[in-house]
A and B are shown apart, each in its own frame.
Chain A
């Protein structure tokens, strides 16, 4: 067999790991030999997690997978199948054990200065599971999304008519289906015969009729005249009917407003999409990429209440950290991606809208990949921090030869004792997991580094044992560059200086810091005054922590002693201010300052705001009841001493300010600035990450996985582009 092609994969995030997984599939028969170079002790990147004291799971931030993540679930399922864990021996053996449906979703809405309402809803289960092969009735075109939107309007109309706690007072009549001309005509006549088209059944039926009518007219050319005027009458009466209906319903019940906002939102989207010709536009939704989503909604007549409603804020902004420079006064998200993401999220999910993991993301996602890749012969070089991507000198290029990467320059951050391979996983009651810090014992000088507070993942940490340079043809043939975008200007300065497209990308595709904290608490959520669904994800709340998820299911994955067993677990997450401009790597106090700032934000938030979600979390004197927090190990006597907000020290919080960890935004007008993994300007380099032009222009696991699959395609022509689900999505 000929010598394998050496692929250096930089970074171990979702994108790079997917690329490694695709390139080492058995079908390639060992054609590619892959080495993953990863700074620090663990893979996972923005999706990494680690086990801390009491085996508690410490996440980079709240992570939820959506029901439309077809690529991500597909590779994940393949991975679990190949892993072949025995269900009798492993509590998390299969992908079905690893993810469960978590469709309780909420948005919060400020009613008055003091009063916030949490609106929760459970999205219904749909057929199949994400990652199942698609059949051709899948609803992925602008037109079919719009018809879903119209249908949703009808459903919401019905919901709006529901009396609080009671049943629908508008009797829905059994309707004939619009199968044929006679049926449709009869239906029209009946609709128009209503005393007024203001009944719920009438409105819903009329919306359905509108959906079908033109198809019918198209097949009945000779009767178009008469029915055309009937149609106009219908539209006219329908308008009057909606007004009449709303007048009676909406005015007397302010809470119904939320539904009207969603109705208005859906109809605005339908209207805007028609007006902008999105159904047939060659650029699909990208045709409106230059608008901010709210701006686009306003342009197409959405009311100010709608553009500012909790639903829009939560889904199109808060959940995706869409605040430029982390400034919550500067929301900004591309209308194209908001629609693409929103439509896929709500109308394209399978199984459940949200899928939750039964353990930490590192343990659920990255351990299986690590184990499978190791079995396939992939090498992992931990503690390798890439410092420079060196391009070949243009003067040395042969005529017609494309530029290429000549060398990869690393700092080797640590060496393993005895020259052994680093073993990164720890066992948590039978489950191989990632620890929250390196296993210092395996490292040369480990104790010293631990005491010195070395942080291999910190941009500001300069710990290094040696330098290593990999050279093209000698050490590698191809490079998959899978760093977070924020790190690119620092590591790829030659690319950025020489290539205007790279420069434009790093300037315009912006990234933001994030902050997160987790609370392990003695009382149940009910005892804290929260009575809604137990495993809920709520977004759209007050800044600085607009997103909260109740994660009680993870407690049994951790190893708490009986006397300190928490009964509730809450994750909070949000964007974090991100000063523009380059970071000073010499300012080693910077990350600590920012960590303290995130802690301070958490303290303020708990003292000031959390009681609006959990009414009994406030102490009688005001402020948070800090004693609800469970102490860490050895906290016994210290716990008694720690009072007030000092108790937060026993919990977990993070300020994700390393450049690579910054969340990638989808700002208006920037989709075209991204570089594709398929780009071949540098003929031995491909990019992989949620920041690339991978089809789904959003910072999420699905985009990263799509990008990783594309990166593999650009090297090996596999998987075929048509198999990368929704790459060719409008």
Chain B
């Protein structure tokens, strides 16, 4: 009898997924073993699932951020236009420069204006994706809760993601789900015993609420994840 012909298995796909994932974390980083994939926060395409993994507050926060973006856009459109006009009014100021130099400098200044609008576009696109809080929290599992009493400050220790050094992170001020920003009161400090943990110090006067804030890479400014903490009063 003739041997049975072997057939290759069909691949799930035959093309790369070129869509940039949010926050500069492409699909292949960490591979199968990545935290995001293993705890079900990744839809397999490397994009965080929309809806913030069940965080009820994130929808409201995303909406408020969208409003901010919209109003910023208006302001900027208007102001950038004014800037452009003003810049072109200065057009004659090149004096002794060659044509080539003049063209180049104009291109540079135009680009600067574009760069400023880029960040609006980018933030806008992030919010349109409906996932301002992708929930790549610093801690595995649910949202950490910290109980504070009027008597004094409280702390909560959170585990850092693997391969992350505290010094490389910048914590944005945390914001509650209405879009109100609370200046300080929650700070990150290295837990003394172990550098893979960090500690949030919560002032006794901190109002109750769910707080969220981006955690950025100190040097590149990229968003590394989001920190969400609920503050409850005893």
Chain A positions within 8 Å of B, measured between CB atoms, are 5, 134-144, 146-148, 150-151, 177, 179-181, 207, 210-215, 217-221, 224-225, 228-229, 231-233, 235-236, 238-240, 242-243, 246-247, 250-251, 257, 260-261, 263-264, 267-268, 270-271, 274-275, 279-286, 301-306, 402, 404, 472-474, 477-478, 676, 678-680, 683-684, 686, 693, 695, 713-715, 717, 720-730
Contacts and interface: CB of A to CB of B under 8 A. Distances in A.
B31 interface: yes
Contact of A243 (B78, B90, B119, B162): B90
A210 B98 CA distance: 29
Nearest to B79: A232
Which 10 A/B pairs are nearest by Cβ-Cβ distance? A232-B79, A267-B111, A284-B18, A228-B75, A214-B119, A239-B109, A141-B24, A144-B24, A236-B83, A477-B6
Given A214-B116, A214-B119, A404-B5, 14 more contacts: A135-B30, A147-B221, A150-B115, A177-B170, A211-B119, A218-B68, A219-B172, A232-B75, A246-B101, A247-B93, A250-B97, A267-B114, A303-B107, A404-B7
A240 B16 CA distance: 43
B156 interface: no
A679 B71 CA distance: 47
B175 interface: yes
Contacts of A134: 28-30
Nearest to A144: B24
B10 to A, nearest CB: 5
A83 B68 CA distance: 58
Contact of A135 (B72, B125, B163): B163
Interface in B75-104: 75-76, 78-80, 82-83, 86-87, 90, 93-98, 100-101, 103-104
B51 to A, nearest CB: 19
22 contacts: A180-B183, A210-B112, A211-B115, A213-B119, A214-B119, A214-B123, A217-B72, A218-B72, A228-B75, A235-B112, A239-B112, A270-B111, A270-B115, A303-B100, A303-B103, A404-B5, A478-B8, A684-B6, A714-B9, A722-B46, A723-B28, A725-B28
Contacts of A243: 90, 93-94, 105, 109
A232 B82 contact: yes
A116 to B, nearest CB: 20
A437 to B, nearest CB: 38
A221 B46 CA distance: 30
Contact of B87 (A225, A236, A279, A306): A236
Nearest to A727: B16
A274 B114 contact: yes
B231 to A, nearest CB: 18
Which of B82, B94, B101, B170 has the most CB atoms of chain A within a 10 A radius of its CB?
A: B101
A270 B118 contact: yes
B19 A211 contact: no
Contacts of A247: 93-97, 105
Contacts of B23: 141
B115 A728 contact: no
B206 interface: no
Contacts of B43: none
Given A279-B20, A729-B18, A229 B79 contact: yes
B20 A137 contact: no
A220 B7 contact: no
A224 B68 contact: yes
Interface of B: 2-21, 23-32, 34, 37, 46, 64-65, 67-69, 71-72, 75-76, 78-80, 82-83, 86-87, 90, 93-98, 100-101, 103-105, 107-123, 125, 129, 161-164, 168, 170, 172-173, 175, 179, 181, 183, 214, 217, 220-222, 224
A378 B79 CA distance: 67
Nearest to A722: B31
B101 A280 contact: no
Nearest to A239: B109
Given A239-B83, A729-B16, A267 B11 contact: no
A221 B111 CA distance: 26
B101 A235 contact: no
Contacts of B98: 251
A137 B72 contact: no
A144 B15 contact: no
A207 B119 CA distance: 12
Given A141-B25, A267-B115, A301-B107, A684 B20 contact: no
Contacts of A250: 97, 101, 104-105
B2 A267 contact: no
A135 B18 CA distance: 19
Contact of B26 (A141, A263, A286): A141
A232 B81 CA distance: 9
Contacts of A683: 7-8
Given A140-B26, A473-B5, A210 B119 contact: yes
Contacts of B31: 720, 722-723
B25 to A, nearest CB: 5
B196 to A, nearest CB: 14
A260 B68 CA distance: 36
A5 B122 CA distance: 49
A43 B10 CA distance: 30
A135 to B, nearest CB: 4
